[in-house]
Chain A
Amino acid sequence: MGNQKLYKGSLQTIILKLLAATDKMYGYEITQKVKELTKGELTITEGALYPALHKLEAEGLLDVEVAKVDNRLRKYYKLTENGTKETVSRLAEMEDFLRTMQTIVNPNFSLE
């Protein structure tokens, strides 16, 4: 288990990145995907995921779709045009951040 606090500020970027790689995803699928990709290192809690999704939706970065699946309604999220643009810039910011952290944590290491 990593320190979940360190991931907290990156949750929106993680969601955007996952949605950029696929057509649409629902909340639970996102939590499972993150768990799978990080081999259980990062667990997105329910209390953090939905507020982040709703915030991105209110900002117009995500659009929603609803479909009936297995006797119930499922809400899917997908990127809007603005969301796609925002993903690119947030990922660039994230890379800058990682580079800066790297120079502090391990000055001799280079990503190049």
Chain B
Amino acid sequence: MKKDIKLTPEQIQELYKFTRQHFVEHYDMQTELVDHLANDIEQIWQEKPTLSFEDAKKISFKKFGVFGFMDVYGARQGALQKKYMKILWQHAKAWFRLPKIIATFAFYYFFFRGLIEYGDTFALSIIGVVVVFGLVKHILLLRKVKKRQKLSGKKWLLEDIIFKGLFLGGGMIGINLFNIINISSPDVYNIFWAVFYAAIFTIMVVYVYISVEVLPKKAEELLIEYYPEYSLIST
């Protein structure tokens, strides 16, 4: 009967280091890959018990293909960004229900009146304020996440997305809005354009507020909820 050879804790740490060397910097992703490699190495040892750990690791890693862990990693990022958008949407819905809808409507009305009265000057000022606010918050959040990750010694993919991922997407929307306004809008807004842009601005404000203010504050709660291993590690 074949004897089961199990990896030692040192070899497991070696595998974590190996994933880092292959550009997997997030602990959640590393953990799944380490367990997979470890299982495969143990399986290889069943067939060839004399093979060294290094050689078995090489055979196992080759199975991931020429791009190594990148395919798996990229797909994981895509899946988590989708998850993040779902969380964001859940929070956004509250702004379109009582009582928060009153604030949302107040914003909407403010934008609508501003557009009617002051046209482009108002539109560009609002975009300017939101972009500057977003940028300042973004820099502060980057510092905060760096500090968190230094303290815990671990990076989580969802944590990175919460603290720095989607604001960039928001920035892109802002720049495009800038272009749309320059191309399409008349100097003075008629009712139709004012209704349309006021809605866009309101959505933009809700989106930026939730992504740079609400979700980072709830990061700890979200990470505990999403990663079963998070509380296992931090305690």
Q: Which residues in A have some Cβ–Cβ distance to B below 8 Å?
A: 26-29, 32, 45-47, 50-51, 54-55, 57-58, 64-66, 68, 70-75
- The 8 A CB mask of B34-68 against A (1 = contact, 0 = none) is 11101110010000000000000000000111010
What are 14 A-B contacts with C-beta separation under 8 Å? Answer: A27-B32, A27-B35, A32-B43, A46-B63, A51-B76, A51-B79, A54-B80, A55-B75, A70-B7, A71-B12, A72-B35, A73-B232, A75-B35, A75-B229
In the complex, which residue of chain B has the Cβ closest to the Cβ of A26? Answer: B35
Number of chain B residues close to chain A: CB under 8 A: 31
In the complex the two chains form, what is the Cα distance from A66 to B43 in whole Å? 21
> Are B6 and A71 closer than 8 Å at their CB atoms?
yes
Least distance between B225 CB and chain A CB atoms (Å): 11
> Are A72 and B38 closer than 8 Å at their CB atoms?
yes
How many inter-chain contacts with C-beta < 8 Å in the A-B complex? 76
In the complex the two chains form, what is the Cα distance from A78 to B99 in whole Å? 38
In the complex the two chains form, what is the Cα distance from A73 to B228 in whole Å? 11
In the complex the two chains form, what is the Cα distance from A2 to B40 in whole Å? 23
Given contacts A50-B76, A55-B79, 20 further A-B contacts (CB under 8 A): A26-B35, A26-B39, A28-B40, A29-B39, A45-B65, A47-B67, A51-B71, A51-B72, A54-B75, A54-B80, A55-B75, A57-B79, A64-B228, A66-B227, A66-B229, A68-B232, A70-B38, A72-B31, A72-B34, A72-B35
> Are A58 and B82 closer than 8 Å at their CB atoms?
yes
> Are B35 and A73 closer than 8 Å at their CB atoms?
yes
In the complex the two chains form, what is the Cα distance from A29 to B75 in whole Å? 20
- Known contacts: A55-B79, A58-B82. The answer to whether A74 contacts B35 by CB under 8 A is yes
In the complex the two chains form, what is the Cα distance from A46 to B82 in whole Å? 22
> Are B6 and A70 closer than 8 Å at their CB atoms?
yes
Which B residues are in CB contact (< 8 Å) with A54?
75-76, 79-80
> Are A71 and B72 closer than 8 Å at their CB atoms?
no
In the complex the two chains form, what is the Cα distance from A75 to B232 in whole Å? 12
- Known contacts: A47-B65, A71-B9. The answer to whether A66 contacts B75 by CB under 8 A is no
Which B residues are in CB contact (< 8 Å) with A27?
32, 35-36
> Are B35 and A51 closer than 8 Å at their CB atoms?
no
Least distance between A60 CB and chain B CB atoms (Å): 8
> Are B35 and A47 closer than 8 Å at their CB atoms?
no
Q: Is B83 an interface residue (CB 8 A)?
A: yes
In the complex the two chains form, what is the Cα distance from A102 to B220 in whole Å? 52
Which A residues are in CB contact (< 8 Å) with B67?
47
Least distance between B56 CB and chain A CB atoms (Å): 14
Pick from A32, A47, A68, A70: contact of B72, CB below 8 A. A47
- Known contacts: A55-B75, A64-B228. The answer to whether A73 contacts B83 by CB under 8 A is no
In the complex the two chains form, what is the Cα distance from A26 to B228 in whole Å? 14
In the complex the two chains form, what is the Cα distance from A16 to B43 in whole Å? 25
Least distance between B165 CB and chain A CB atoms (Å): 14
